[in-house]
Amino acid sequence: MNDEPEMQGPISVVTFRNGASAKPLLILLTHGSELTPLARLSSFLRGDFPVRCLQLEEPSKSVSVENIARRYVDKLRALQPDGPYRLLGYGVVGLIVYEVAAQLIGADQRVEFIGLIDTPRPNNESRRGQQSAQTFSRLAGMTHRYCPQPLSAEVHLFNPDGAFAADGARAWRSLLNQKAIVNTIECPTELLFSEPNVQMLAGKVCEALDRAAKVKVRVPERDYSPLIAIQAGDLSAPAIFCVPGAGANVTSFMSLATALGSGNSIYGLQPRGLDGSLVPHSSISAAAEAYVSAVRSVQPGGPYRLVGHSFGGWVILEMAHRLLAAGERVEPLVVLDSECPSPRRASRRYSQIGALLKLAAILETASGHRLHLTRAQIEDVDRDAQLVLMERMKAAGLLTRANTLAVVRGMARVFSTNLNTPYVPTSTYPGHMLLVKAAEEVEHNSEDSEMEIDETLPENEWTDHVATVERIELPGNHMTLLKQPNIDAISQHLIRVWETWRHAIRKQGPRKLTS
């Protein structure tokens, strides 16, 4: 683990030009990139819209594309809280722009335009462009390990002539299919920002901006419904809504449904992205907003019963905040072996390799089978790391032959996104929580070390975030907690706290009790 804080400076904002439009074009740059070429480009863009450049100070070698992108997202949303966003990047920085777009879509924000100028294909040796030699060296090493995932949004590529650009265009088309729109400027790379080529580039960027504003691209993430019925029960009683842990699906609550019996209606809230095609939620607030909407579609009024395992515990806490703010009653939250959110944990970032190794360790714990997945296998540039994971899972009997690579990609993508999602509640929840902790710690792969965290930030206890916390400890580990015999004990405890709450409600009469 790298215990040092991320060595990154602030993000500066340079206005290339002002405009009357409320939709600025946002150009992302890293420290060491030259402003002059992109400032020249902006001067030839037609239309009355602002053009702003966001420039990040040079990151340390250990910081990943995903982590840098999150810093940009925080700055973007401080400047422009909601979409539509219009993003442009040049050279290897285009890969960071792509990840910024992915994280904005994951936060259920509209991204209208994604423009990549002479951006290399994913997982390929990059070309320097306008970066200094030192900056380029660090960026190239970082982006070489970045594996972009498909997006539902269109991506506009602006490429000069040459085999390098053609190779990149083919790779982006392979990733995005019809969503990759290639625009060619007939000139060598080194003359791209010289006249008259920069005028031609500006013209193509403007045409793409006009197209993006007019063409309404369907965003399937907005149509996604997370609600899955696990068990039908007594419709006169409050249903139970369950949120699984990072990368898991709602089938992890099947044993709970069995333990509770057939009298309870039980729903699972399936994380978006497990299908391998949709972008996962990239923030707790976005997931909670979507889940609350889904819950109220089948149960318009409270009291609500919420259960969350691991990462799901954070989500149900945020859901409860929103339900209370809407004037609804929420019964005691049931949180199963969730870490307490804190500023220090919010600073934690895993690389893609670190996340995949951690996922393998959790699968080993859940199944009792060794997957024998090593860092060397993941870093092998000639092999697909998630394909290697699928092969190991099938060999261990964790997947059937019918399971596709998309299933593994979806699980890994959701897991990595959840693992890197920061959360610190903004206020104390005034209700009650039943916190169930596993007695045993999960042993992780010794290679699972690609994680950054700011150890100077404070930790928290659950009592810092929730008014009343009842803690119990059960045998087993993080994964066996959801299996027999622990799940029988959990079902008895949650029935107890919910019945106690309802008894208190009856004694209070018409007076409102939140939890």
Tokens representing 436 are: 């169930």
Please report the pLDDT score of residue 38 as a whole number.
Answer: 92
For the chain, give every domain's residue range.
Answer: 11-220, 224-508
CATH no. for 11-220 = 3.40.50.1820
**What does the DSSP assignment read for 382-450?**
TS-HHHHHHHHHHHTTSS-TT--HHHHHHHHHHHHHHHT-----SS-EEEEEEEEEESSPPPPPTT---
pLDDT of residue 63: 63
Distance, CA of 55 to CA of 68 (rounded, Å) = 11
Residues contacting 275, CB < 8 A, separation 6+: 406, 410
Give the three-class secondary structure for 305. strand
CA dist 490 and 336 (Å) reads: 9
Strands 51-56 and 11-17: antiparallel
User: DSSP states of 190-223 as a string?
Assistant: GGTTSTTHHHHHHHHHHHHHHHHHHS----HHHH
Dihedral sign computed on CA atoms, order 5, 7, 10, 16: negative
Taking residue 274's Cβ as centre, other Cβ atoms within 10 Å add up to 22
Q: Considering the domain 224-508 in this protein, what is its CATH number?
A: 3.40.50.1820
The one-character DSSP state at 464 is G
Do 360 and 389 form a contact (C-beta atoms < 8 A)?
Answer: yes
The two tokens of residue 170 are 């083919």
Phi, psi of 339 (to 5 degrees): -65, 150
- Interatomic CA distance for residues 50 and 207, integer angstroms: 16
Q: Which of 264, 261, 259, 314 is nearest to 482 (CA)?
A: 259
Q: What is the C-alpha separation between 307 and 477, in angstroms, rounded?
A: 18
Strand order in the sheet with 25-30: 11-17, 51-56, 25-30, 85-90, 111-117, 155-160, 180-185
Report the DSSP beta bridge partners of residue 56.
Answer: 11, 30
| Tokens 């699928």 found at | 390
Count, in order, helices (H) and strands (E) of the chain: 16, 16
CA 212, 216, 222: angle at the middle one, nearest 5?
120
pLDDT of res. 141: 58
Q: Determine the pLDDT at residue 406.
A: 82
**240-243 and 227-231: which strand pairing?**
unpaired
pLDDT in tens, the chain (515 residues): 232 233 345 888 999 999 988 799 999 988 667 888 999 999 999 999 999 999 876 655 456 788 889 889 999 999 999 999 999 999 888 999 999 999 999 999 999 999 999 988 765 444 434 444 444 445 655 666 778 888 989 999 999 987 667 777 888 888 888 889 999 999 988 899 999 999 999 999 999 999 999 887 778 898 999 999 999 988 888 999 999 999 999 999 999 999 998 888 999 999 999 988 899 999 999 999 999 999 999 999 999 999 999 999 999 999 999 999 999 999 999 999 999 999 999 888 887 778 888 888 888 887 788 887 777 777 665 456 777 777 778 777 777 766 777 888 889 999 999 999 999 999 999 999 999 999 987 655 544 456 777 788 888 999 999 999 999 999 989 988 999 999 999 999 999 999 999 998 888 765 444 54
Q: Say how far apart CA 174 and CA 150 lie, in whole Å.
A: 10
Element (H, E) at 112: strand 111-117
Collapsing DSSP to helix, strand or coil, 295 comes out as helix
Using only the alpha carbons of the chain, give its radius of gyration.
24
Distance from C-alpha of 470 to C-alpha of 114, rounded to nearest angstrom: 48
Is residue 305 within 8 Å of residue 281, measured between CB atoms? no
Determine if the peptide bond prior to 84 is cis (ω within 30°): yes
Overall size of the chain counted in residues: 515
Q: Are 179 and 113 a contacting pair, CB within 8 Å?
A: no
Cα distance between the two ends of the chain: 39
* Global pTM value: 0.87
Question: Exposed/middle/buried for 178, CB within 10 Å: 0-12, 13-18, 19+?
Answer: exposed
